[in-house]
Chain A
C-alpha cells in the first residue's frame, strides 16, 4: 500500500491570496492536504524604512511608523517617540502621556477587532463577525479623525508629546463609545464562544508550547495565549500605565482559539484602561517644545512597548547628528512568524490558514 499516494504538491499561498492579509507568501508542500514543508517568502512590501530613516531627522521618521503596522499606527508612533525621547532625554507633559495611553488603547481595540474579525473569516465565516467588529473599529477611527484628521496613518504622536489636543466634541463621542463597548464585546462573545464550528476549527489547532514560545521570541497575544502572563504594560510600564488597573488575559492551551480569546478579553481590558485614563486626564500642555533638528547625544537605546501584535521595539543609535545613525525596528509580526513553520507542518492547509490568521501578522510591519 505504501507506494500508493499522491506525490508532493507545492502550492503557493500568496502573495495574492485572500487569507495572507497582505502580500505575504507561504510556499507549502502538500501531501494530499497535509503540509509537509512550509517556506515563507517575504519582502514584497519592503520599503527599506531603516535605511531611509538614516537620512531623515528624528521627527521626519514618525510617518514611517504609521506605515509599518498600518492597522496600529498609533502604537507605532508611540514606540518610536518613546525611543527618541529616551535617547534625547525629553520629558513628556502628563496630559500628553494620558492621551498617548488613550489613543494607544483605542488603537489596540481597533487592531484586535480587525484581527479577530479576519481570524473568523479565515475559519470560513462569510464576513459576518468581521462586519460586526468593523462597526466598532469605524467609530474608533472616527475618534482618530476628529483628533488628528487621519484615520489610518495618524502621525499623531510627536517627540515630546502629541501633535494636537483633542477637540471638545471628542469627549462625548469617546464616552458614548466606551459606554457601549463592553456590551459589544459581550455580543461578540455570545456570537462566537458557543459556535461549535469555530471551536472545531480552532480548538487544538496550532498549539504552541510555552517554552517554545519564549524560545522563539514570540510576544503579545500569541505568547499570552500559551498561558504566560507577560505584558510589557505591566512588566515595564511606560507612559502612565503604572497608574492603571487592568488584568492580563491568558489562554489555557496555546491554540488558535486561545489567541482569539486573549484578544477578545484584551479589548475589554483596554476599555477599562481608557475609562480610567479619561477619569484621570489632567489639563495642561500636550507637547514639550523640542528642537526641530533634534540632536541626541551619542548613544544607543532600546525601547519596547506592547503593541497590539506584541513587543514592538525600537533600537536607536545616535552619533550626535540630526538623523539616527541606526534605526532598527523589532517588529512583532515578523518575529512571531518564527513559529509559523513549527506550527503549520503536519496540519492541513485549512488549519495552516487558521494558524496564520491567529498569529495576526501585518505585512507592512514584517517587511518594513
Chain B
C-alpha cells in the first residue's frame, strides 16, 4: 500500500505532505485515507474549475466561430460569466413535474456525475502521478461511459415527457451502436503496448519516443467519432437535439439539476480529450520537452487542445439523423475497426516475433497512415456518393417556362 501511495505523491509538495503525515502517525490506513482524500480533492477541484473554464471557453470560441464576440460583460473578457451562470442556476427554483417518476427523477443528475468524476482517477498526470493505476484502466473507462448512458436513460424515462423519452430511447440505441467501435478502437493501443493500464500505455509512448496516433491513426479517428457520439455533442447530439426534441432527456430539468447535466457534458468532454491525449498522443510526454515543463501542464495542455477540437466540431457541423448515425457506426466505423484490428494484430505479431527495434514503428506508421487514407476515401465515397449525384447549384433559367403537367390523382385530397 505504501508503494501505491508513494507513487502518486512523487509530485513534490504532496510528497512532503506524505512524509510529514508519515512522521506524525504510524497507521498506514490513516495515511492512505488522508492521502486519498487529498488526491481526490485535487482531481475534484481540477474538474470543477475545468468545467467552469470550459463554459467560458466554449462560449467564447463558439462566439468567435460565429463572427460574434461571445461573453464580454461579466469580468475581464467575460471571464466571470460561468460564475454568473452558476449563481443564476443555483438561484433558480427547481421544478419537478407532478407526473414524473418520484425519486428516479432526482437520481440521474447525481448519477451522471459519478462516472464523469471517476474517469479522471486513472489518468497519468505525470510520471508516477496517478491516482489509481488500474491494470484494466482502458476497460474501466469504457465501463464508466456505458454507465453514463444508463443514467441519461433514467432521466428521460423518469421525466415522463415525450420529448425526454424520445431522447432517452435515442441515447440507448446510440450507446449500443457506438460502444462497439469504441471498444474495438481502444483495443488497438492495448494490443500494441500489451497493457491496459493507462500509465503503462503513456510510458510505452515515452520510452519509444513515438505517439501511438502515428501508428494507429484509424483508431484515433474511430475513437474520436464514437466518443463524440457518446458525449452527445453536435454532429451526434441526437439525444438532446434542440431543433427536434427540444432538449431531449433533460427537457424537464431546471435550475441546478439542468446545471449538473450541463457540467457533466463539459467534464465528459474533458475526459474524452484526456483519453485521446493519454492513449494516442503521448499523455504527459512531449518528445523530451517534458524534462523542462512540468508534465502535468503538458497533459492539461493536450486535454485543452482536443477540447478545442470538440468545440470546433460543435461550431461547424449540423446534426445527423438517428438512422444515419447508426448506419455510420455499423456500416463504416465497425468494419473499419475490424480491419484495423486485424492489421494491427499482424503488425504486433511481426514485431514481437522478430524482436525488431523501435524503428519498425515508423514503418508501421507510414503503412497505417496510407491504409487509413485509402480506407476512409473508400468508405466515404460509398456512403456519400448518393448525395453528390445531383448538382449542388440551382439551375438558372432566364424565362418563365412551366411544362403542362397532368394533374395528379389523389385517392383523397384531404390533408392537414
* Touching chains A and B, CB distance < 8 Å: yes
A12 to B396, CA, bound (A): 39
Q: Which residues of A are found within 8 Å of B416, using beta-carbon distances?
A: 39-40, 337-338, 340-341
A200 to B325, CA, bound (A): 11
On whether the beta carbons of A350 and B406 are closer than 8 Å, the reply is no
Question: 14 more A-B contacts (CB under 8 A) besides A131-B67, A203-B390, A349-B166?
Answer: A9-B162, A121-B243, A124-B242, A132-B67, A196-B387, A200-B320, A212-B408, A229-B400, A234-B400, A249-B395, A250-B394, A252-B395, A353-B244, A357-B243
Is residue A243 contacting chain B, with contact meaning CB distance below 8 A? no
Instruction: Tell me which residues across on chain A come within 8 A of B67, comparing CB atoms.
Output: 131-132, 135
Task: Tell me the smallest distance from the CB of A257 to a CB of chain B, in Å.
Answer: 8
B-contact bits for A115-155, CB 8 A (1 contact / 0 none): 00000111111111001100100000000000000000000
Chain B residues near A340 (CB-CB < 8 A): 415-416
Are A124 and B234 CB-contacts (below 8 A) given A215-B408, A350-B322? yes
Known: A126-B314, A131-B67, A338-B416. A261 touches B393 (CB 8 A): yes
Which of chain B's residues 149-174 have a Cβ closer than 8 Å to chain A? 162-163, 166
The answer to whether A201 and B390 have CB atoms under 8 Å apart is no
Task: Decide yes or no whether B321 CB sits under 8 A from chain A.
Answer: yes
Chain A: interface residue count, which band?
35 or more
Distance between Cα atoms of A194 and B380 in the complex (Å):
13
Give the distance in Å from the alpha carbon of A55 to the alpha carbon of B314 in the complex.
Answer: 52
25 CB contacts below 8 A, A to B, read A10-B162, A19-B243, A123-B243, A124-B234, A124-B237, A124-B320, A125-B317, A126-B234, A126-B314, A197-B318, A197-B319, A199-B384, A228-B403, A234-B399, A248-B398, A248-B400, A249-B394, A249-B395, A250-B396, A252-B390, A264-B394, A349-B245, A351-B321, A353-B243, A357-B243
What chain A residues lie within 8 Å of B319 (beta carbons)? Answer: 123-125, 197, 201, 350
- Tell me whether chain A's interface is mostly helix, strand or loop, or mixed: helix
Which 10 pairs, one residue from A and one from B, show the smallest C-beta to C-beta distance?
A124-B319, A249-B394, A131-B66, A199-B387, A247-B396, A341-B415, A265-B394, A229-B397, A123-B318, A125-B318
Interface centre among A17, A224, A229 (most CB of B within 10 A): A229
Measured in the bound complex, the distance between the Cα atoms of B246 and A349 in whole Å is 12
A275 to B377, CA, bound (A): 44
Which A residues lie at the B interface, using CB under 8 A? 9-12, 17-19, 33, 39-40, 120-128, 131-132, 135, 193-201, 203-204, 209-212, 214-215, 224, 227-231, 234-235, 247-253, 257-258, 261-262, 264-265, 337-342, 348-351, 353, 357
Chain B residue at minimal CB-CB distance from A12: B162
With a cutoff of 8 Å between Cβ atoms, the chain A residues found around residue B321 in the complex are: 200-201, 348, 350-351
Bound-state Cα–Cα, A17 to B163, Å = 11
- A357 partner residues in chain B, CB cutoff 8 A: 243
Does residue B201 face the partner (Cβ distance < 8 Å to A)? no
Which of B237, B324, B392 meets A261, CB within 8 Å? B392
- In whole Å, how far is A155's beta carbon from the nearest beta carbon of chain B? 30
- Among B386, B395, B407, find the residue whose CB has the most chain A CB atoms closer than 10 A: B395
Whether the Cβ atoms of B235 and A197 lie closer than 8 Å is yes
How far is the CB of A124 from the nearest CB of chain B, in Å?
2
Write the nearest CB–CB distance from B411 to chain A, whole angstroms: 12
Docked complex Cα distance between A132 and B66 (Å): 7
Residues from chain A with a CB closer than 8 A to the CB of B243 are 18-19, 121-124, 353, 357
- Chain B residue nearest to A248 (CB atoms) is B397
Do B392 and A210 touch (CB < 8 A)?
no
A residues near B16, Cβ cutoff 8 Å: none
Q: Residue A128 contacts which of B242, B316, B386 (CB distance < 8 angstroms)?
A: B316
Interface pair A258/B394, CB less than 8 Å apart: yes
With A and B bound together, what is the CA distance between A192 and B67 in angstroms?
16
Q: Is the CB of A128 within 8 A of B394?
A: no
* Nearest chain B residue, comparing its CB with the CB of A127: B66
Cβ-based interface call for B1 (8 A): no
Is B3 among interface residues, defined by CB-CB distance under 8 A? no
Q: Is the CB of B318 within 8 A of A198?
A: yes
A138 to chain B, nearest CB (A): 11
Find A211's partner among B66, B324, B407 (CB 8 Å cutoff).
B407
Which chain A residues border B415 with CB–CB below 8 Å?
338-342
Q: Which A-chain residue is minimally distant from B235 (CB atoms)? A: A197
Cα A120 to Cα B316 in complex, Å, equals 11
Residues of chain A with a CB closer than 8 A to B163's CB? 11
